[in-house]
Amino acid sequence: LDQTAVGMAGPHTALGDAIGLGIRTFEASEVEQRLMILLSDGADTASRMTPVNAAALAAERGVTIYAIGVGDPEASGEDKVDLAALEEIARQTGGQFFYAGDEAALSEVYAEIDRQNPRAVETVTYRPALDLAYLPLALALVLVLGIVAALHFSARRKAARP
């Protein structure tokens, strides 16, 4: 998100088509949890399929959409925010609508979505049946004791010689 800028994808928004592409991506994958996060101002200016129809299709295919509205709700014209469309998309798919007026609010929204949708993560670890961490220490101790013993006996031999 740090590298995104308003207008970087072009002057038009194909929100319904983007939802359709997300549905197709889920169908091609083997993920069990089909959750889509839609970050948008809600304005659709170029889709072949309306966002509401795409949301209905998403619901049929088991995709839950969490819609996050961004932008100035007081704006007009091309900059107008369509929060009602985002609310409807989320409602149809069993998701939830959020409005994020600034970066801090957006972070809170992401944290809330994480809380609502915990994901089981499989962790694979390897632990040897026998803890071998002491072996290098034991080897060093035996080596030091061997050197001390060799020096001790060498000194005794030299002392015993006339």
Show the tokens assigned to 5.
């800028």
Domain of 101, CATH number, reads 3.40.50.410
Q: How confident is the model over 54-68, as a mean pLDDT? A: 95
Residue 104 counted as domain residue: yes
Tally of domains within the chain: 1
Residue 127 counted as domain residue: no
Residue 73 counted as domain residue: yes
Residues of the domain holding 77: 15-116
Residue 145 counted as domain residue: no
Q: How confident is the model over 30-44, as a mean pLDDT? A: 88
Task: Measure Cα distances from 157 to 18, 145, 146, 160 in Å.
Answer: 89, 18, 16, 5
N-to-C CA span, the chain = 86
Report the alpha-carbon distance of residue 3 to residue 69 in Å, rounded.
19
Answer yes or no: is pLDDT of 124 > 80: no
Q: How confident is the model over 137-154, as a mean pLDDT? A: 91
Residue 107 counted as domain residue: yes
Least-confidence region, from 27-41, 88-102, 110-124: 110-124
Residue 142 counted as domain residue: no
pLDDT score for 5: 64
